[in-house]
Each structure stands twice: as structure tokens, then as C-alpha cells.
Amino acid sequence: MKKRITVVLILFFITAINGFTQNITDSDIPQDMNAVLSNKKLTVAITSADQPPFYYINKEGKLTGYDIDTASHMAKELNVELVINRDAASFNDLIALVASGKADLAISKLSRTLARARYVKFSTPYIVFKQGLLLNRLQLAKITTEDNINSFVRNYVGTLGVIKASSYVNYARENFPRATIREYDSWDDVIKALNMGEILAAYRDELEIKRILNNMPNSSLKFKPIYFTDLIDPIAIAVKSENTQLLYWVNTFLEAQGNKVTADEILAIYKDK
């Protein structure tokens, strides 16, 4: 009798479990994620101006770079087409494209800042750069000595060149409040001004400074780099604030890629730029 009761109970539990088991279908996918999958495309915003080695037109006329490779890998994982939106004239314009829904993501060497986080959500950073200064050696020698550079930089009062509408405008105001900030349309314009002695220092991340030192003839004689260990520039992916499932997927994707790459590793991979 006891054995029969045990068998009946086992059959009851098996039947109950099977009754509660349901197959997962496309209808269970949250709306924001389903919009990407049903449209069969992932729209990624980058700026209109190239930012090598993150995105640029190569010698064959193809758009390539670290961010393009990342976006392509994401689209492949989702089994959708990658569509690149280059309507943004500045880094800040990328935020408007994502917030308005004109782009699903911004993967564009985009600094994660408090100001931008008012409008969009950010992924965990996929790269974290040190911030740095590139100083004009000739102008610097007129103001201070090599032995006093660290103290001079921490209390910086000179002219400081940054890209207009970039994160470094606010970084400059926060970290160098006594500096005279001059905004330029592009990084090339900042470096031209530095080379001509119009500004004492250019302010950006370590990768961009190293690119100048690697690519410009006699750059080590003209410029002096300073890298900060306590000032960082986290690079992340922007997602529309409502798209929480897409953000979760992006973070899961980034986690699966393993350790974050460094500035030197990116420069080595895309050494033609």
C-alpha cells in the first residue's frame, strides 16, 4: 500500500512539473530587445569625423576600426544587419541620437560622464584610459623647469586646448579650473595650435597622445607627454534610457569578451592608424 502511494505521489509531481513547464517564445522577449530583432538591424551611431583607430576609412575605402569590429560582432551575435549612423557632428550629438531612438547604440569612443548620463544609460566601460597632457616643450621651458613640472601641472594656469563639445571640455573645467580653455573643432586643430605655440598644452586621453608621438616626426623633441594615474576616461556604450534589456545584453556581451584592452594593445592591433 505504501509503495503504491509513493508511486502515485511521484506521478503527481511529474504531472505538476510538466504542467508548469512552458517553452520560451519570441513573445517573451522584452519589447526593446525585440525591436532590434524584429527589425533585423542594429543601428549604431558614430561621429561624422573619423576617430582612428576606433573608426576610420582605410586605404581600401572601407569603414574599419576597433569600435566597428565591436559593433559588427554584436550584430553577428544578434543575427541582424549592422547599420552605421554618422549624423553626429560631435560626441555630444551622439547622445541626442540615442535618446531620440534614431540609433540603438552609440559605440564611438564615447566617454561616460555624469552630464551625459542624465539623458542615456551607459554600459560598463569597455576601455578605461588615463587622461593626459601633451605640452609644447619650448613654451614649457619659458615657464618652469623639468624638476618642477609635476607641481606646475597640478596647479596648471596656462592655455589648454580641447575638442569642442567633447568630454574634455568639462574635464578641463573640473581638473584645471585655473587654466585658460580653448576649444577647437578637431583634435588635429588642437595639435596644430600646440605645434604653433598658440597653446601650452593639449588635453585628451593617453591613446590620442601616444598616436601623436608615434606618428609625428620629431614629436619627442617638440612635445612632452604627462599621463595621470588618478584621472581616467571611461569609454562606454550609450543606450536609450528605457532600453534596459538591450543594456543588459550589451553588458553581458562585453563581459564575455574578457579583459579590457589597453591603449597600447589597440595601437598595436591597428598600427596602420
pLDDT in tens, 256-268: 999 889 999 999 9
Which residue, chain included where needed, has cell 585628451? 204
- DSSP 3-state of 86: strand
* pLDDT at residue 12 is higher than 80: no
pLDDT of residue 133: 98
Residue 207 in grid coordinates: 591613446
Residue 84 in grid coordinates: 552605421
Residue 90 in grid coordinates: 560631435
Long-range contacts of 143-151 (CB under 8 A, 24+ apart): 143/200, 149/224, 149/226
- If one compares 217 and 17, the residue with the highest pLDDT of the two is 217
pLDDT of residue 13: 52
pLDDT in tens, 86-138: 999 999 999 999 999 999 999 999 999 999 999 999 999 999 999 999 999 99
Whether the Cβ atoms of residue 95 and residue 106 lie closer than 8 Å to each other: yes
pLDDT of residue 27: 76
By DSSP bridging, strand 159-163 and strand 201-205 are parallel
Residues near 208 by beta carbon (within 8 Å), at least 6 away in sequence: 187
Position 271 confidence tier, pLDDT thresholds 50, 70, 90: confident
Q: What is the DSSP letter of 51?
A: B
* Amino acid (1-letter code) at residue 129: F
Q: Give the span between the Cα atoms of 97 and 107, in whole angstroms.
A: 12
The number of beta carbons lying within 10 Å of the beta carbon of residue 149 is 16
Phi/psi for 98 (5° steps) reads -70, -45
pLDDT in tens, 18-46: 544 566 677 789 999 999 999 999 999 99
Q: Give the span between the Cα atoms of 78 and 63, in whole angstroms.
A: 21
* pLDDT at residue 153 is higher than 50: yes
pLDDT of residue 7: 47
The percent of residues in the chain predicted with pLDDT above 90, rounded, is 85
* pLDDT at residue 10 is higher than 90: no
pLDDT in tens, 216-253: 999 999 999 999 999 999 999 999 999 999 999 999 99
Phi/psi for 176 (5° steps) reads -135, 65
Mean pLDDT, rounded, for 155-172: 96
Q: Give the span between the Cα atoms of 215 and 207, in whole angstroms.
A: 12
pLDDT in tens, 45-80: 999 999 999 999 999 999 999 999 999 999 999 999
Whether the Cβ atoms of residue 226 and residue 149 lie closer than 8 Å to each other: yes
Mean pLDDT, rounded, for 200-212: 98
The percent of residues in the chain predicted with pLDDT above 70, rounded, is 90
Residue 119 in grid coordinates: 539623458
